[in-house]
Structure 1
Amino acid sequence: MELALFFFMLTSAFSGSRPETIVYGKFSAAQTEIKLEDITSSYLLKEEDKILTTTTGVTGDFAIRPKPALPGYYRLGCNILFLKHGDDLKVSIDRSDPKLSTFEGVGSSVNIFLKDTPIPQEGSYLDDGKNLPAAPQDAIDEIINSGKIRNIALNDLKGTTHRFRKLERARIKADVVNSILSVPRYLAKLKMAPDSSRKYLLRFKALSSPLLESHCASLENPDYLQLDVYKILAKYLIARSKEKGLDKASLHKVEDWIKADSLIQKMKGMKNRETIEDFSTELDSIKFSKYRRAAKKIKTELLEKLGEGKVKGLPAPTEKQRHDVPFSSSQ
Structure 2
Amino acid sequence: MDKELVLGIDIGGTYTKIGLVDALGNIFQTKQFATEAKQPYTTFLGRLKTEINALKSGLQSNHQLLGIGVGAPNANTHTGAMENPPNFKWGNTIPVAHSLKELFGLPIIIANDANAAAVGELEFGMGKGMKNFVVLTLGTGLGSGIISDGALVLGQNGMAGEIGHVNVNSSLNARQCNCGLLGCLETYVSVTGMRRTIFELIAEMRDDSPLRSISFEAMTGEIISEAALQNDAIALKAFEYTAEILGIQMADTAAHFDPEAFILLGGLSKAGDILVRPTIESMENHLFVAYKNKVKVLISDGPGEHTVLGPAALAWRMFTGKSKEPHMV
TM-score, L = length of structure 1: 0.31
Choose between structure 1 and 2: higher helix proportion: 1
Greater length-normalized contact order (CA 8 Å, ≥ 6 residues apart): 2
In our comparison, the structure showing a higher alpha carbon Rg is 1
- The TM-score, its normalising length taken from structure 2, stands at 0.31
- Structure with a larger share of its residues in strand: 2
